[in-house]
Amino acid sequence: ILNVEQSPQSLHVQEGDSTNFTCSFPSSNFYALHWYRWETAKSPEALFVMTLNGDEKKKGRISATLNTKEGYSYLYIKGSQPEDSATYLCAFRDNYGQNFVFGPGTRLSVLP
């Protein structure tokens, strides 16, 4: 059974703070790593799909890095805003294609 972990489980930051979370996944048989944002009462929204070791992707104030050799990815949010409050999920896909495993998520609350 593949294990995808995320830390921290939850996070409270003040508006304007920068923050980051970690996703840990198996370092073997890597195919892709996805990041999603899931706001309460809404559908998950894709943030990034990362496939290459050393990938760095950016969307506005949010960016992500990928290290497939050691099995981790970081998600960074610069200058957090209350609308960034959501659960951030990562998902690992292996190169057999059969496994697409989500982490438990990091719940971010940005206080105004």
Partner 1 sequence: KAGVTQTPRYLIKTRGQQVTLSCSPISGHRSVSWYQQTPGQGLQFLFEYFSETQRNKGNFPGRFSGRQFSNSRSEMNVSTLELGDSALYLCASRAGGGDGNEQFFGPGTRLTVL
Choice from 13, 20, 26, 49 touching partner 1 (CB under 8 A): 49
Instruction: State which of residues 11, 68, 93, 106 lies at the interface with partner 1 (CB under 8 A).
Output: 93
Separation between Cα atoms, residue 53 and residue 55, nearest integer Å: 6
The DSSP secondary structure of 27-77, one letter per residue, reads: SSSEEEEEEEEE-TTS--EEEEEE-STT-EEEETTEEEEEETTTTEEEEEE
The yes or no reply on residue 60 touching partner 1 (CB under 8 A) is no
CB 102: neighbour CB atoms within 10 A? 15
Binding to partner 1 (CB under 8 A): which residues in 61-80? Answer: none
In the range 4-43, which residues lie near partner 1 by CB under 8 A?
31-32, 34, 43
Rule CB under 8 A: which residues touch partner 1? 1, 31-32, 34, 43-46, 49, 51, 89, 91, 93, 97-105
